[in-house]
Structure 1
């Protein structure tokens, strides 16, 4: 009697071959459905993450550009030059600012923001060189290239003085521009993006005018076309 009961329990224990096959088939269907959903969802996720990363890099690059331009110094290239070192074009701008960074010495440095091309396309690059008085036709050797903004975005600059009229170039002026507009375009469509901004230049007068009793009069005399002639006569 006990042996018969044990045989009956042993026959009921475990899975039959059909049950195993059905479980395997069900698991295959579930895994196939998950693979299909993942194949449709993962590329969209990757594209979304890539767009977020590009937007973050663009925001960091624009912040660096605006921070540099806002602290441009009204510094001539040598004692004889009357105009500050500021060369602004549509795709590049060169100016002087206070040296900044963990590996820089106290003083001034020349910054150039310029568009360059490499194997990955167009990119806006930040370069720098230590500032020292030099001839007006001297070649400045820039180093420490850092890519700020890369394709598919393209940056262009424009400049406005006290008259608030935007110009594509700012060269040989006696005064720094009041504002520099930073326009960001999508290369594929050519449209200007909403992230475009403008940097306000804080320095608007030479150092000697800041120490003068009447800064406004000093600035007006510096900007007068005959200012150089008057200074030569005084010398």
Structure 2
């Protein structure tokens, strides 16, 4: 091959400066377009993932609340108490249930669901304490706080007995409520969300049945409140 042919082949094998500049410009345009598209969909993707995570946490919290209510026990605070330990308000509930979870001993525990505020806003917190007989005015020391539901959601409770009438409070009753409604609201709008539900309490025997020695005594304890109520109405 002659020297002229070799020089011509060598010139055709490489890139000219113009070709390099054109390739660089094209790559810059492509990267800019990708950056623009990413900047548009990435915030929406992050917001969507945040909504999904909030919905999952809300579902887990509601499931935990309903499971606790379903197994509430009709247990008095001591042997002299006539009513079970159940204090129900609009923003808090205290009741007794069978101990559950890791590092728990067999027996009963007192559960309190209560709304509290922290640096992130309002939150529904689950607390627990071991159940032991105590005076009626004793202060229960709760521990093991776990946040179940946090803002932008807010939870309130209402209670219904056998008459199916919803009440904002349930205190000092001889029986547990038949159902507990869990209302979930959006903090910003105050609107009740469709995820709100009601839990059915499976225990419906009075506290006296826990100390009754036979089914007859338990039945008598269940009928006594109605008999006393009828007697008072007759006197009136």
Bucket of the pairwise TM-score, normalised by the shorter protein: over 0.9
What's the TM-score once normalised by structure 2's chain length?
0.92
Asked whether 1:152 is paired with 2:152, we answer: yes
For 1:210 and 1:46, how far apart are their aligned partners in 2?
Answer: 61
Partner of 1:199: 199
- Distance apart, 1:102 and its partner CA: 1.3
Gaps of 5+ in 2: 230-236
- Distance apart, 1:223 and its partner CA: 5.2
For 2:179 and 2:223, how far apart are their aligned partners in 1?
Answer: 19
Could you say what secondary structure the match of 2:222 adopts?
Answer: helix
Contact 1:175/1:223, CA 8 A, preserved across alignment: no
Structure 1 stretches of 4+ with a deviation exceeding 3 A read 206-211, 213-218, 222-226
- Distance apart, 1:221 and its partner CA: 1.7
What's the TM-score once normalised by structure 1's chain length?
0.92
Gaps of 5+ in 1: 227-235
- Distance apart, 1:5 and its partner CA: 1.2
- Distance apart, 1:218 and its partner CA: 3.9
Could you say what secondary structure the match of 2:14 adopts?
Answer: coil
Could you say what secondary structure the match of 1:55 adopts?
Answer: helix
1:38-117 correspondence to structure 2 within 5 Å: 38-117=38-117
1:172-211 correspondence to structure 2 within 5 Å: 172-206=172-206, 207-208=209-210, 211=214
Which of 219, 224, 228 is 1:221 aligned to? 224
- Distance apart, 1:78 and its partner CA: 0.5
- Distance apart, 1:214 and its partner CA: 7.9
Partner of 1:162: 162
For 1:210 and 1:171, how far apart are their aligned partners in 2?
Answer: 27
Partner of 1:229: none
Could you say what secondary structure the match of 1:176 adopts?
Answer: coil
Could you say what secondary structure the match of 2:73 adopts?
Answer: coil
Partner of 2:232: none
For 2:214 and 2:50, how far apart are their aligned partners in 1?
Answer: 52
Matched length = 226
For 2:226 and 2:132, how far apart are their aligned partners in 1?
Answer: 24
Indicate how the Cα distance of structure 1 residues 224 and 75 shifts in structure 2: closer, same or farther if over 3 A, else same. farther
